[in-house]
């Protein structure tokens, strides 16, 4: 039988093996796909925003480091599954430690990227506000006023409250705490951050009522948390999983754009709300799983 990899194989063949491994990680590891999408967004910002060459190099290095660490984590998990097919507490601790290393690296990468991008991002706020002036037509404003409700308190309370009640009645306590705790905790985080930053909103807010300070966008933060949790709960069926996640992502994107079109937030406000909302979702999801790891993981059917 011909070995899969030989030390004296051609250089091109080694690249084939490498790309095959990356493709396998893309197919099998949802975390790798999420980090890859975030990396694409950071790279796009790196190209658009006025950064120095050294700053761009640092961003590329930390992106590569986090993605490589995720691939290594995937490799170790597969090796452990082969060596120890019977799951044990020791194997669980090893996997948790590797996942913790990836989380620490990703958190550090987010902090470093934030420190690098914050200055040009604040300058970009004013440029984008001027660029969007022609798009603030009667139709654009009307459409944005409707779409922005998907992240408003009426929808958050209505959808979140109804789904929480259904989950509670059906005794799906893990998903109930995921949804209720995610929204209540998210609201507290938004209020705290708005108080700490106290950033003024853009001038001449005419089309909707806006309260509180500007950073972060509460609509985007809580809308991101709500629709990601809703998508997770509704993905019980494999046949509709992809479409639900696409719909949730589309709703979040509409809310993001609507807050800028309505001029109630700066671009950096909605970016901060989006990233912080995603971070809170994944953090609370992991913590909630830990709290309920001994309970049944059956999903509700809607």
Cα(295)–Cα(152) distance, rounded to whole angstroms? 33
Burial 209-238 (b: 16+ CB within 10 A, else e): ebeebbbbbbbbbbbbbbbbbbbbbbbeee
| 29 annotated as a binding-site residue | yes
The token pair at 102 is: 């990836």
Cα(28)–Cα(5) distance, rounded to whole angstroms? 21
| Angle between helix 267-291 and 241-261 (nearest 10) | 140
The token pair at 232 is: 């997770």
Cα(99)–Cα(238) distance, rounded to whole angstroms? 25
* Residue where the block lists tokens 């958050």: 156
* 70 catalytic per annotation: yes
Cα(260)–Cα(277) distance, rounded to whole angstroms? 17
| 96 annotated as a binding-site residue | yes
| 33 annotated as a binding-site residue | no
Residue 163, exposed/middle/buried by CB under 10 A (0-12, 13-18, 19+)? buried
Identify the active-site residue in 2, 13, 70, 293.
70
| 2 annotated as a binding-site residue | no
Cα(57)–Cα(61) distance, rounded to whole angstroms? 6
| 125 annotated as a binding-site residue | no
Phi, psi for 297 (deg, rounded to 5): -100, 20
How far is Cα of residue 229 from the mean position of the Cα atoms in its chain?
11
Provide the annotated binding site for a divalent metal cation.
29, 77
Annotated binding site for substrate: 56, 70
Query: Which residues are known binding-site members for ATP?
Result: 29, 77, 95-96
Residues that are catalytic: 70
């Amino acid at each position: 039988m011909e070995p899969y990899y030989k030390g004296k194989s051609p250089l091109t063949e080694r690249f084939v093996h490498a790309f095959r491994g990356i493709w396998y990680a893309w197919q099998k590891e949802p975390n790798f796909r999420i980090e890859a999408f975030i990396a694409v967004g950071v790279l796009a910002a790196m190209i658009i925003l006025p950064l120095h060459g050294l700053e761009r190099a640092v961003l590329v290095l930390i992106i590569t480091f986090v993605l490589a660490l995720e691939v290594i984590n995937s490799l170790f998990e597969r090796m452990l599954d082969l060596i120890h097919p019977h799951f044990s507490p020791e194997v669980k601790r090893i996997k948790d430690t590797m996942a913790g290393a990836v989380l620490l690296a990703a958190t550090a990468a987010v902090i470093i990227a934030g420190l690098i991008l914050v200055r040009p991002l604040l300058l970009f706020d004013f440029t984008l506000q001027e660029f969007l002036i022609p798009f603030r037509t009667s139709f654009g404003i009307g459409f944005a006023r409707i779409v922005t409700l998907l992240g408003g308190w009426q929808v958050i309370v209505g959808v979140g409250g109804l789904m929480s009640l259904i989950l509670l009645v059906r005794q799906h306590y893990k998903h109930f705490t995921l949804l209720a705790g995610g929204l209540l905790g998210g609201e507290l985080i938004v209020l705290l951050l708005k108080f700490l930053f106290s950033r003024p909103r853009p001038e001449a807010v005419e089309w909707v009522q806006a309260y509180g300070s500007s950073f972060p966008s509460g609509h985007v933060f809580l809308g991101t948390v709500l629709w990601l949790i809703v998508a997770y709960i509704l993905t019980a069926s494999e046949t509709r999983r992809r479409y639900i996640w696409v719909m949730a992502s589309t709703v979040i994107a509409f809310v993001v754009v609507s807050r800028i079109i309505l001029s109630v937030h700066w671009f950096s406000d909605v970016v901060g709300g989006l990233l912080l909302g995603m971070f809170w979702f994944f953090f609370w999801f992991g913590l909630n799983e830990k709290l309920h790891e001994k309970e049944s993981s059956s999903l509700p059917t809607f």
